[in-house]
Structure 1
Amino acid sequence: MKWLEVHIDTNHAGLEAVEAFLSAQGIDSVVIDDETEFHDFLENNHQYWDYVDEDLMAAEAGKSRITFYLPADGDGMARLGAVRIALQEFRQRNTGFGSLLMTLDNLEDADWENNWKQFYKHMEIGERLLVIPEWESADTKGRVPLILNPGLTFGTGSHATTRLCLTELEQRIHGGERVLDLGCGSGILSIAALKLGAASAFACDIDEKCETVAYENAALNGVGRDIYTVRTGDILSDKALQQEIGTGYHVVLANIVADVIIALAPAVRPLLAEGGVFLCSGIIDDRAEEVADRLRAAGLTILETRSAEGWFSYVCQ
C-alpha cells in the first residue's frame, strides 16, 4: 500500500494542541519532532561535535513538527481534505503556535490543490441552511444556499463552533435585523445572516486578508456592499472603527476564542439594540464555565447554551 506522509509545522508550545487537534480528526498515530530535543542533543553530546552549521541552527530554530500517515487512496484523500479544512479554522483560533503549515510528501502540490476539492461536499446545517462549495451544484430542497470557497480562508462551516453559530443564527434571524460580526474570518456568519433575511451586516477582523475574502464570498452569494460592510481593525482599540460600527445591532456575533470573548464582553451591551442578543462561540469545554462567569460579570444574561464536539456557544442579552 502507498502512503501519504503529512507534516504540520508548529513550535514547542503548539505540539500538544496540534496533537489534540489531530486526535479530534480521528488521527492518533503521530510522530513528533520537537525543537527542544535538537538543542538537548547538542547540549548533552558536546564530545561528539565542536561546530554546528549556522544554516542548520537557523533551520531548526523555533520549529517543531508533527507527522502522520494516511493511505494514498480515496479514503486517505477524504481524510486529508477534512484535516486541511479544519486546520484553516484551527490556525485562526490558535496564534503563537508557529506557522501551522501543512505539507505533504508523495503527492505533488499541484495535484493536491485540485484533487482535495472533490472531498469537500455540501452540508445541511440546522433547519434552513445549506452550505455549498463554490464549484459544486446541489439541490437546495427548499433550504437557503450559502455558497463559499473553502480554500480562501478559515470559516467553512465544517468546524463545530461555526455550525453551532449557524444553527443558533437561523433561530434569531426573522427578517430586517442589523447584524455585527466580530472576527468575521471568511464572512460565513454575517453572509448567512443576510441570506436568511437580515437587513444589513457589518463585519470586521484584525486580519486584513479577511476583508477581501469576505467580500468575495459575499459576491458568490449575490450580497452587495450596499447591505454588507467589511473592515479591518480591532474593535477594542480602534476608535475610528468603533465610530463606524456604531450601535443598535439586533445580533452581535463573535465566533473566536475564549480569551477574545472575555475581552469583548464588557464592550458588548452598548452595541446591542433593545432586545438584541450576543451570540458567542469558539469556547473549548474546559474554559466554558470561565467564559460564562465573565459574561455574567459584564452584565450579560445567558439565555441559551449549546455544545458540540467539546465546544460551547452562548446566547446572551
Structure 2
Amino acid sequence: MKWTQITIETTCEAVDLLSAFLDEEGVLGIEVDDNVPLTDEEMAAMFVDLLPDEMPTDDGTAKVSCYLDDSFDKEEIKTKIKNELERLSEFIPVGACNIIESETEDVDWMNNWKAYFKPFRLYDNIVIKPTWENAPSDVTDDDIVIDIDPGAAFGTGSHETTRLCIGQLKKYMKEGDLVLDCGSGSGILSFVCSNLGAKEVLGIDIDETAVHVSIENRDINHITEDQVRFLCGNVLADKELVQSIEPKYDIVVANILADVIIPLSGVVQQFMKDDAKFICSGIINTKEDEVRQALLDNHFRIVDTVSMKDWISFVAEKDN
C-alpha cells in the first residue's frame, strides 16, 4: 500500500503545536526532524547504541511529517495545514511554511529499522534473535534463544536496563516461582523468566499494541498461555485490575522508568508474597535517590543495588 507523505518545513518553536494539530486531524505516523542536540539522558532513553559522528548545526528549523492513506482528502488536509500555519504565525515564528507532498511505501517508514536489529547476546546464555534473522553461529545447545518481533511495540531488549533485570532475575528467581512483569513491553523479560524456570508469568502493559505483539511473540517462542499470560491495563489507575491480581507472586519485575517506579512502589506490595522480591530497573542515575526514598517510604527494604553505565537497578523486599 502506498501512503502520501506530507512534510511541513517550519521551526522548532512550532513543532509541538503543529504535531498536536495533525494528531487532532487523525493523521498517522507524525515524525519530527530537527537539529536540536540530544542530552545524554535523552540519548540513553532512545535505546540507541550508535549515533552519527557528525551532527548538523541547530539552526532553529524543523520538518514535521505525517502520512495519509486513501481515506483522507489530501488537498483538504494541506489547506488546513496552511491555515493553521497562518494562525500560528501571529504568535510564533513558523519558518518557511513549505508543504511538500510525496508518496512512500509501507516499508519505507515501518520496516527500515529492521536492518539495524540483529541477533545479540543479552546475557551470558540468553540470545535475542529477530524473527527474520538466523541464529548467530556461536549459539550452543545450552543457550536460551528468544525470537522477538517488536512490531510497533517498545523493546528489543538491547538496553542496559534489561541486562540489569536479567542479572537480578538470575540471582533471585527460583525454579517454580510466580512472576509478575509490570510494563512487559514486547515480552522479553516474561519469556526470559519462563525459560529460567518460572512456573507462571503475568505480563501487564498499558499499551494495547505491546500486549498484542507480546502475545504473538509468545506463540513464536512456543510458550503456552498457562506459562505466560499478558494483560492490558494500568495498575496505577485501574482499581478493578488491581483487585483481580492475586497476592501470590514471588517476583515482581518492573523495567520501566523512575517516574513510574516511584508511584508503583506504593502499589506493588499487595501483589507480593511476604518473602517476595521487587526488582526494578530503568532508573537513570540522576533519579536514583528519588526511587530509593520512594521504596523506603513505602515500607520496602533494599537488599541489592547494581548499576551499568548510567542506569540503576534495585532489588527490594517487604520491610515487615
Moved more, 289-298 or 22-31: 22-31
Aligned twin of 1:84: none
Name whichever structure is richer in strand by fraction.
2
Superimposed CA distance per residue, residues 51-73 of structure 1 (whole angstroms, 9 cap, x where no aligned partner): x9524247999999xxxxxxxxx
Distance 1:233 1:224 in 2: 21
Indicate the SS of the match to 1:281: strand
Shift of 1:151: 3.6
For residues 1-317 of structure 1, what are the structure 2 equivalents within 5 Å?
9=32, 18=42, 25-27=50-52, 29-32=55-58, 54-57=83-86, 110=107, 116-138=113-135, 139-141=138-140, 142-317=142-317
Give, in whole Å, the separation in 2 of the partners of 1:254 and 1:260: 9
User: Residue by residue, what CA displacement relative to the aligned partner does 1:294-313 show, whole Å, maximum 9, x if unpaired?
Assistant: 11111111111121231111
**Runs of 5+ consecutive residues of structure 2 not aligned to the other structure:** 1-29, 63-80, 95-101
Give 1 or 2: higher helix fraction: 1
CA distance in 2, matches of 1:19, 1:62: 28
> Which of 112-121 and 241-250 deviates more?
112-121
Output the CA distance in 2 between the equivalents of 1:186 and 1:284. 21
The alpha-carbon distance between structure 1 residues 114 and 256, as it changes in their structure 2 partners (threshold 3 A), is closer
- What CA deviation, in whole Å up to 9, does each residue of 1:219-270 have, x standing for no partner? 1111111222211111122122112211111110111111111101122222
Indicate how the Cα distance of structure 1 residues 57 and 216 shifts in structure 2: closer, same or farther if over 3 A, else same. Answer: farther
CA 1:14 to 1:204, structure 2 compared with 1: closer, same or farther past 3 Å?
farther
Task: Give the TM-score taking structure 1 as reference length.
Answer: 0.69
User: How many angstroms apart in 2 are the aligned matches of 1:10 and 1:183?
Assistant: 29
Structure 1 spans left out of the alignment, 5+ residues: 1-6, 37-51, 65-104
Counterpart residue identity of residue 118, structure 2 = K
- Cα distance change, pair 237–31 in 1 and its aligned pair in 2 (3 A): same
Asked whether the 8 Å contact 1:248–1:274 carries over to 2, the reply is no
C-alpha separation in 2, matches of 1:33 and 1:191? 45
Count how many residue pairs are aligned between Structure 1 and Structure 2. 255
Q: CA RMSD, aligned part only?
A: 3.6
Moved more, 255-264 or 126-135: 126-135
TM-score w.r.t. structure 2 length? 0.68
Q: Structure 1 216/62 Cα, relative in aligned 2: closer, same or farther at 3 Å? A: farther
- 1:178–1:198 contact (8 Å) kept in structure 2: yes
1:226/1:62 CA distance change after superposition, 3 Å? farther
Distance change (3 Å), C-alpha of 1:289 and 1:232: same
Over the matched positions of the two proteins, sequence identity in percent amounts to: 35
